[in-house]
Amino acid sequence: METLIKIGGWIECADYSSPLTIAICLPRVEFAGLLVATGACLHATKSPVVADWRTGLAELLNRRVAYAFCGKNPYVYWEGVLREIEPGEPATVGIQGTKSGPTDRWPLADLASIQLDPERDGKELADHYHAKNAFRDEHSNRLRTVLPESAVGKLCGWWFQVTLVGIRSRFAEELNEPFPWKVESPAGCKFADLLRPEGHVADSVITRLLSAKDLTGESARGIVIIEGSRRLAEHLTATQRHNRIVLLGRNEPHYSDCAEIVTSHFQQRSSDVAGLDFECPEHIKLKMFYH
């Protein structure tokens, strides 16, 4: 499933002057659109890629750290050790204080910043090629939450938009699901919090949800993610100017027809795409082309 997030991130940085199509053939389309959109969104906001975050967290466990609390003097640091509060649950990693700080355990969500103690872990820092400040900036927010509200706020008025085309009622249910790759946050984090569809927030809408019959050249915004349907041929015609992702579910009755339409467009492509810079698992097939 992480592959879909990576594809979203990849297409987000594609050049709009040469629009391209990525057709993704996968076992089911449920959540695929949201994951692709999330990948694009995370990339647009320059947040760390989710998979890397999890790896980075595992490497930092049991390190001595200095930390500061949210809402308090940001220059007062306490000492502690980064530990898993609940073994096996990365969402509940926190700080166990030492003699110079509180002895309670603090969830990461309560902390403004964390840094390795440079005096004690200087050797590790050098090996990791991270200066003290760079570590703090790169890891504090990453460890705190996938997409902190402060970063989300920066999206107000941002140009980044994505259009999801498919069954709106199903999208609404999926948007309500918790986003699985996050540190526990008091506010919780659902797909809707990341993708900010219309109606979820008063402003800074990122995601437009359209049913198959509502997609036109005028209604599409930004990256267009289309679930294959009987109208796929019309959709592809309407979104010629957009970078788009077509999701083909192999369990869907119209799958073969949609694959045929995609293949037909592929044969009329303007040029080939070099390819992704990451591997796709065997059960996900792609067809990519500049259209």
Partner 1 sequence: MTLAEISRAHRNALEVARGGVTVYQVEDKDIQAFDMARRDFQNLVDKLQAAEPLKAFASLCSQLHARICRTPCPPAWLVETFKPRILELQPKLNPCLATADEKIRSAFKVVCGRLADVQKIQVNPLATEVRAMLELSEEASEKLIVVIRQPALWHEVGAAIDPDAVRKHMVIMKPSELRRASPVDRVLLFGPPWLFEYRDEHFLFRSPVAGSVELFVFAHDCGGRVSASALDVQPVNFRGIEPRPTAAENLQSEPLFMFKPRSFVPRRLPGVETDTVDAHAVYIDAWPVNLGGNMGVYLDPEGSVYAVECKHAGEVAICTDVERRDVEELEPGDLIVLTTEGGGDLIRPLADEILGEASQVYRRRQDDWKRKLRERVEIDGMAFVVAKLQAHGAVGANPPNLRTWMSERNIGPEGLDTDFAGILTVTGVCGSRDEYCEAIDSIRRAHKKAGFQLRDRLLAALKGMDVRRAFVDGFLEVRTAEGGPAKTVFLVEQIARESANVPTHAVARVFELEETRS
Query: For binding to partner 1 (CB under 8 A), which residues are involved?
Result: 1, 23, 25-28, 30-31, 167, 169, 174, 177, 180, 211-213, 229-231, 248-256, 259-260, 262-263, 281-283, 285-287
Instruction: Please say which residue, 67 or 289, places its beta carbon nearer to partner 1.
Output: 289
Residue 123 and residue 214: Cα distance in Å, rounded?
Answer: 58
Smaller CB distance to partner 1: residue 80 or 228? Answer: 228
Structure tokens at 268: 């009329």
User: Closest approach of Cβ 213 to partner 1, in Å?
Assistant: 5
Q: Nearest to residue 150, comparing CAs of 176, 181, 185?
A: 185
Supply the angle between the helices 2-12 and 32-44 in degrees, to the nearest 10: 50
Helix 2-12 to helix 50-60 angle (10° resolution) is: 120
C-beta closer to partner 1: residue 24 or 82: 24
In terms of CB distance, is 100 or 169 closer to partner 1?
Answer: 169
* 3-state secondary structure at position 22: strand
Give 251's DSSP letter: T
Q: How far is the CB of 284 from partner 1 (least distance, A)?
A: 8
Q: Smallest Cα–Cα separation from 179: which of 188, 187, 190?
A: 190
Closest distance between partner 1 and the C-beta of residue 237, in Å? 17
Q: Which two tokens stand for residue 166?
A: 């498919």
Q: Would you tell me how many other CB atoms lie within 10 Å of the CB of residue 2?
A: 15
Tokens standing for 230? 């009987």
Q: What's the min distance (Å) between Cβ of 233 and partner 1? A: 13
Report, in Å, the least distance between residue 41 CB and partner 1: 17
Nearer to partner 1, 110 or 257 (CB): 257
Rounded distance, CA 3 to CA 35, Å?
Answer: 9
- How does strand 271-272 pair with strand 285-290? antiparallel
Both tokens assigned to 214: 């509502």
Q: Kindly tell me which of 90 and 97 has the beta carbon lying closer to partner 1.
A: 90
